[in-house]
Structure 1
């Protein structure tokens, strides 16, 4: 591995890397538990390559491994990466909201190429892993996603239609009235609990993202971040709720690496 340049996004759960090699951009990711071993390996194999860092652990990486590295703000790097990938996919927006769904969720604004964080939540991938483990005893991300895809949130949640029954609801009956409101004993399956959790995460992210979009008079919301990778149940729910509130959801290939890519391109 002899990359020309390397961008590293060191977050709370994952370390993501984008690097240019022979004119091509490549991506790698590591669990944050592998940080020391992976960075020692990188330091030995790519000692001459310029490195740009972003994310919560960027200062740590600079101090411990890459003293000459440049650090850029993570919201700026994610915005740069998202803009590049959108253009690569044939899409171009002058202004857009982009929601970074990592360990938590940061909701950011691109206004004419200027990037800023406008909202956020502690609800994100860390919630899926932590609360998912408490609810199902499952600690593997892929397995939790699989459980959610096989379950029905309405078996664990109180729905609007449940509140109004036996009469017709005044609003969409498929909306959630209370997350986990039906869990009163052990009869709710692990699959339904995982589905309810995924539904709660999606609703929260869309609610905050759509509020930011309305405030800034923007129709397009770009959803990126590692929690979306190989997570069809979450993506489907985010798409459903975003369309429901009248906005346009956009998912981009390699969106999990926007921060690392933005660091590489900066």
Structure 2
């Protein structure tokens, strides 16, 4: 590996890397637990490559490993990367919300060429992993996703139809009245708990995102971030609830690497 330049997004859970080699952009990711081994390996294999850093641990990486690296604000680098990938996918939105679901969730507005961070939430991938481990005993991300895909949230969640039963509900009965509101004992399966948790994360993110979209008169919502990678259950729910609330959800290829890519492109 002899990259011409490198972008690194150092978050709370993962290190995402985008690097250009022979005119092509490639992507890698590492657990934050591999920080020292991966960054020392990078220093040895690409000692002269220019590097740009972004994310919560960018200053730490600069101080400890790459003193000459540039630091790019996280929402700026994510916007640059997302815009590049959207063009690759043939997507052209002038104004949109960019929802970055990493360890937590950031809500940014791209309007008239400017990017600004509107708000965020502590509910994100870290919630999925932390609560998922408490609820199911499972600590592997892919296994949690698999559990969620096999479960039914309504076995753990109190639904609107449950509240109005045996009468008809004036609202959509499939909506959640209370996340985990149906759990009264230990009879709910791990699969159903994982599905309920994924549903709670999706609903929280969509409600916050669509409220911001209404406030700023935005129709298109772009979802990116590492929590979406190989996570079909979460993507399905985000798409479903966003459309239900009258907004257009979009997912882009390699969206988990927008921050790292944006840092790379800033060089």
Q: TM-score category by the smaller chain?
A: over 0.9
Matches within 5 A, 1:209-228: 209-228=209-228
1:146 corresponds in structure 2 to 146
SS of 2:139's partner is: coil
1:60 corresponds in structure 2 to 60
1:10 corresponds in structure 2 to 10
In the TM superposition, what whole-angstrom CA distance separates every residue of 1:188-222 from its partner, at most 9, and x where no partner exists?
A: 00000000000000000000010111111010000
Work out the CA distance in 2 between the residues paired with 1:111 and 1:69: 29
Instruction: Give the C-alpha shift of residue 43 in structure 1.
Output: 0.6
* Structure 1 outlier segments of 4+, above 4 Å: none
1:255 corresponds in structure 2 to 255
Instruction: Give the C-alpha shift of residue 50 in structure 1.
Output: 0.4
Work out the CA distance in 1 between the residues paired with 2:136 and 2:170: 34
Q: Give the gaps of 5 or more residues in structure 2.
A: none
Work out the CA distance in 2 between the residues paired with 1:14 and 1:112: 31
Work out the CA distance in 1 between the residues paired with 2:31 and 2:197: 23
2:207 corresponds in structure 1 to 207
2:74 corresponds in structure 1 to 74
SS of 2:26's partner is: strand
Matches within 5 A, 1:29-178: 29-178=29-178
Instruction: Give the C-alpha shift of residue 112 in structure 1.
Output: 2.3
Instruction: Give the C-alpha shift of residue 24 in structure 1.
Output: 0.4
SS of 1:166's partner is: coil
SS of 2:217's partner is: coil
Give the number of equivalent residue pairs: 266
Work out the CA distance in 2 between the residues paired with 1:160 and 1:117: 33
Work out the CA distance in 1 between the residues paired with 2:217 and 2:241: 18
Work out the CA distance in 2 between the residues paired with 1:113 and 1:252: 19
Q: What TM-score do you get using the length of structure 2 for normalisation?
A: 0.99
SS of 1:110's partner is: strand
Q: CA RMSD in A?
A: 0.5
Instruction: Give the C-alpha shift of residue 174 in structure 1.
Output: 0.5
Work out the CA distance in 2 between the residues paired with 1:120 and 1:196: 22
Work out the CA distance in 1 between the residues paired with 2:67 and 2:46: 14
Q: Give the gaps of 5 or more residues in structure 1.
A: none
Quick check: 1:244 aligned with 2:254?
no
